[in-house]
């Protein structure tokens, strides 16, 4: 089973650090899962404007289509998910993520921004009909040291629990058809 961990920003390292940590926890729960972190910072992004897509965007879309489950990590900028993440969602075919497990991780500069995951990211994942885990992890800059190492034990516990539930979602959906009943 292929798991795509999406670092949905081109700025900073905190979301990448969170994904690297949750990747370790997932591997501890189920070492047979194939995990890949997609760092948006390593891609040449383009705005979806009708122009032909560059190779990075084509490869990104292919990774989304081929994955069996997702963990999305997003910083919160100006009380919103980054435009580069929304732009990526706009490129993905609507049925590509259908009935696939997904989990959310966020990081922001204020504690109040945790609701951005619920009010902006979850509705997008619901549109794609992802099976979103009921728990998500939101972190604040205070949870990291100057080298972006996670220093808060509660964050580690919540990431570990997110990984545990996510792995169970992956197991539960192995036999779930990704096509609607009327289309089989």
As given in the structure block, the two tokens for residue 147 are 């080298």
The partner residues of 102 in beta bridges, in order of sequence, read: 70, 132
Q: Is residue 158 part of a domain?
A: yes
Each residue's pLDDT tens digit, 32-49 = 999 999 999 999 999 988
Distance (Å, rounded) from C-alpha 163 to C-alpha 26? 5
Domain range for 101 is: 2-176
Q: Is residue 170 part of a domain?
A: yes
Q: Is residue 184 part of a domain?
A: no
Q: Is residue 149 part of a domain?
A: yes
Each residue's pLDDT tens digit, 78-101 = 999 999 999 999 999 999 999 999
Residue 50: predicted pLDDT = 87
Distance (Å, rounded) from C-alpha 15 to C-alpha 141? 11
Angle between helices 55-66 and 83-91 (to 10 degrees): 70
Res 108 pLDDT > 70: yes
Share of the chain above pLDDT 70, in %: 98
Mean pLDDT of 113-139: 96
The model's confidence at residue 184, banded by pLDDT at 50, 70 and 90, is low
Q: Is residue 182 part of a domain?
A: no
Mean pLDDT of 152-168: 98
The CATH number of the domain where 133 resides is what?
3.40.50.360
Which pTM value belongs to this model? 0.95
Q: Is residue 183 part of a domain?
A: no
Residue 48: predicted pLDDT = 86
Number of structural domains the chain divides into = 1
Classify residue 146 as exposed, middle or buried by CB count within 10 Å of its CB (0-12, 13-18, 19+). Answer: exposed
**Chain centroid to CA 27:** 16
């Amino acid at each position: 089973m292929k798991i795509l961990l999406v670092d949905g920003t081109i700025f900073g390292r905190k979301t990448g650090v969170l994904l690297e940590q949750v990747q370790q926890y997932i591997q501890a729960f189920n070492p047979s899962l194939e995990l890949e972190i997609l760092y948006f910072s390593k891609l040449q992004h383009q705005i979806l404007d009708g122009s032909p897509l560059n190779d990075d965007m084509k490869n990104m879309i292919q990774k989304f289509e081929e994955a069996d489950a997702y963990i999305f990590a997003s910083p919160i900028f100006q009380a919103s998910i980054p435009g580069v993440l929304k732009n990526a969602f706009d490129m993905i075919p609507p049925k590509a993520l259908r009935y696939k497990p997904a989990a959310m991780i966020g990081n922001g500069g204020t504690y109040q921004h945790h609701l951005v995951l619920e009010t902006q990211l979850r509705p997008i994942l619901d549109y794609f009909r992802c099976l979103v885990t009921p728990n998500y992890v939101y972190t604040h800059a205070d949870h990291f040291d100057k080298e972006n190492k996670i220093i808060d034990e509660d964050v580690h516990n919540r990431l570990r629990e997110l990984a545990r539930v996510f792995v169970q979602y992956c197991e539960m959906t192995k036999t779930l058809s990704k096509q609607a009943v009327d289309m089989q």
